[in-house]
Amino acid sequence: MLIDLCELSPSYVRTIAPYQPGKPISEVARELGLKEEHIIKLASNENPLGIGPRTRAAIDAALGEISRYPDGSGFELKQALSGRYGVDQASIVLGNGSNDVLELVAAAFLGPGRAAVISQHAFAVYPLATQARGARLIMVPAKSYGHDLEAMARAVDDETYVVWVANPNNPTGTLARPDELEAFLRKVPERVLVVLDEAYNEYIHADLRADPVKWLKRHPNLVVTRTFSKAYGLAGLRVGYALAHPSVADVMNRVRQPFNVNSLGLAAATAALDDMEFVARSYAVNLSGMRQLEEGARALGLAYIPSHGNFLAIHVGKAPEIFKRLLRRGVIVRPVSGYGLPEHLRVTIGTAEENDRFLAALAASIKD
Ligand code: PMP
């Protein structure tokens, strides 16, 4: 072949560094010759409780209709969300995970000659979605690992159409207070969209949690994104959504695939939204697990970034080596060097038993 077919894609696509997902259990078992049942995965911020019984029943019921296309408008889920948040259905955009919704923002509002502002250490999908559209990235240095919202507002230039804000951020777990977010929204010009990604919203302590839905009226440039992948336990079914001004939602829906959310996902998410008992249990298990890992890290003399999510970034020093040693002990965590954190490992809060296993494996891996 005389040409490199890769060269046919625009240079802004070719230069994208692919997203590094957490290693699947089956892959680690294959590579290291371990039994799958001896491996624990604390690498993708999944819910260690699985799903609630009502959600499972809704999935079972929806299986009968699987040969049909899903409801492309997602009416029932939108109706449930509309009731929960007191917003019109026209303000809701559903996605194949909230990742899809972030991509829809980029597809609808970014392109060559445009720019997006992000924070250092921010969630990897923002640069990916921005770059894939040929837009320019404006990266703002973090402050104590978190978003420096004042500097981000100042970084907005004439070409900026989107500012990405993760609250809490992954992988740092850092959180901006509601008053800081409000001050930020007042500073950003109305012609610039502020995407407030609240994938981990349900894990935030009630006293620190913002209520951005009530800001939507005052700030029509605000886009709030949430997911069923974390506290609702539906990561594998891929359902997320955005709440936004109807005009913003309208353009996002125009670039959306007609059937972007699958039928099992729609049914499961609609049922899961009502299962507040499951979400409360997920919160409680996460809180005690977070304390367990914090204490464990302190006992090992390791620093960590205080986190408001369902994960903790621990400073382990030689992260690539410790990561490999943990793998050999059947514990999968996530290296975060791609996020500018080469000496940290991010561990998802698991069940008490999983957390114990991780801490024991970490103690041994540091000594090796
Ligand atoms: N936002 C943040 C900050 C995340 O960490 C994640 C998942 N890793 C997502 C969005 C996307 O999750 P999903 O597509 O499963 O909703």
Only one residue has tokens 């509309």, namely: 82
At 2 the pLDDT is: 79
- pLDDT over 80 (residue 37): yes
**Mutation test residue for ligand 1: of 20, 44, 45, 98, the one with most atoms within 8 Å of CB:** 98
At 106 the pLDDT is: 98
**Mutation test residue for ligand 1: of 99, 197, 204, the one with most atoms within 8 Å of CB:** 99
Q: Mean pLDDT, to the nearest integer, of 246-254?
A: 98
Closest to 100 in 3D by CA, of 129, 72, 74, 79: 129
Ligand 1 mean position, distance from CA 8 (Å): 30
Q: How do residues 52-75 score in pLDDT, each as one tens digit?
A: 999 999 999 999 999 999 999 999
Q: Which atom number of ligand 1 is nearest to the Cα of residue 227?
A: 16
* Residues β-bridged to residue 197: 166, 225
**Cα–Cα distance for residue pair 192/158, rounded to 1 Å:** 9
Q: Mean pLDDT, to the nearest integer, of 114-141?
A: 98
DSSP per residue over 30-58, as a string?
A: HHHT--GGG-EE-SS---TT---HHHHHH
Ligand 1 mean position, distance from CA 99 (Å): 6
Where along the chain do its domains lie?
8-50+277-367, 53-274
Ligand 1 mean position, distance from CA 301 (Å): 30
- Place 21 in a pLDDT band, splitting at 50, 70 and 90: confident
Q: Could you please state the CATH topology (level 3) that the domain comprising 53-274 is classified under.
A: Aspartate Aminotransferase; domain 2 (3.40.640)
- Specify the residue with its C-alpha closest to ligand 1, atom 2: 199
**Cα–Cα distance for residue pair 345/334, rounded to 1 Å:** 6
Which tokens belong to 296? 């464990």
Contact 177, 208 (CB under 8 A): yes
- pLDDT over 90 (residue 17): no
* Residues β-bridged to residue 235: none
For the Cβ of 119 lying below 6 angstroms from any atom of ligand 1, the answer is no
At 19 the pLDDT is: 83
Q: Mean pLDDT, to the nearest integer, of 298-325?
A: 98
Q: What percent of the chain has pLDDT over 70?
A: 100
At 22 the pLDDT is: 86
For the Cβ of 22 lying below 6 angstroms from any atom of ligand 1, the answer is no
Q: Is 315 helix (H, G, I), strand (E, B) or coil?
A: strand
Closest to 272 in 3D by CA, of 306, 239, 225: 239
For the Cβ of 47 lying below 6 angstroms from any atom of ligand 1, the answer is no
- pLDDT over 90 (residue 1): no
For the Cβ of 170 lying below 6 angstroms from any atom of ligand 1, the answer is yes
Amino acid making up residue 242:
A
**Cα–Cα distance for residue pair 72/347, rounded to 1 Å:** 36
Measured N-to-C along each axis, helices 25-32 and 319-328 cross at an angle, to the nearest 10 degrees, of: 80
Q: Looking at the whole model, is its pTM more than 0.75?
A: yes
For the Cβ of 229 lying below 6 angstroms from any atom of ligand 1, the answer is yes
Q: How do residues 215-232 score in pLDDT, each as one tens digit?
A: 999 999 999 999 999 999
- pLDDT over 80 (residue 26): yes
Q: Mean pLDDT, to the nearest integer, of 299-327?
A: 98
Q: Mean pLDDT, to the nearest integer, of 299-315?
A: 98
Contact 358, 333 (CB under 8 A): yes
**Cα–Cα distance for residue pair 323/333, rounded to 1 Å:** 7
Whether the ω angle into residue 342 lies within 30 degrees of 0, i.e. cis, is: no
- Give the CA dihedral 266, 226, 244, 267, nearest 10 degrees: 10
Closest to 260 in 3D by CA, of 124, 74, 48: 74
Ligand 1 mean position, distance from CA 64 (Å): 29
Contact 40, 357 (CB under 8 A): yes
Q: How do residues 155-194 score in pLDDT, each as one tens digit?
A: 999 999 999 999 999 999 999 999 999 999 999 999 999 9
- Place 368 in a pLDDT band, splitting at 50, 70 and 90: confident
Ligand 1 mean position, distance from CA 161 (Å): 21
Q: Mean pLDDT, to the nearest integer, of 263-286?
A: 97
Residue 97, classified by CB atoms within 10 Å of its CB into exposed (0-12), middle (13-18) or buried (19+), is buried
Ligand 1 mean position, distance from CA 98 (Å): 6
**Mutation test residue for ligand 1: of 119, 197, 201, the one with most atoms within 8 Å of CB:** 197
Any alpha helices (H) in 304-350, and if so which ranges? 319-328
Closest to 42 in 3D by CA, of 228, 293, 303: 293
Return all residues near 47 (Cβ < 8 A) that are at least 6 apart. Answer: 230, 231, 232, 233, 235, 282, 310
Ligand 1 mean position, distance from CA 45 (Å): 9
The answer to which of 5-14, 81-90, 148-157, 305-314 has the lowest mean pLDDT is 5-14
Ligand 1 mean position, distance from CA 337 (Å): 18
At 20 the pLDDT is: 81
Q: Could you please state the CATH topology (level 3) that the domain comprising 8-50+277-367 is classified under.
A: Aspartate Aminotransferase, domain 1 (3.90.1150)
**Cα–Cα distance for residue pair 249/87, rounded to 1 Å:** 12
**Mutation test residue for ligand 1: of 100, 229, 307, the one with most atoms within 8 Å of CB:** 229
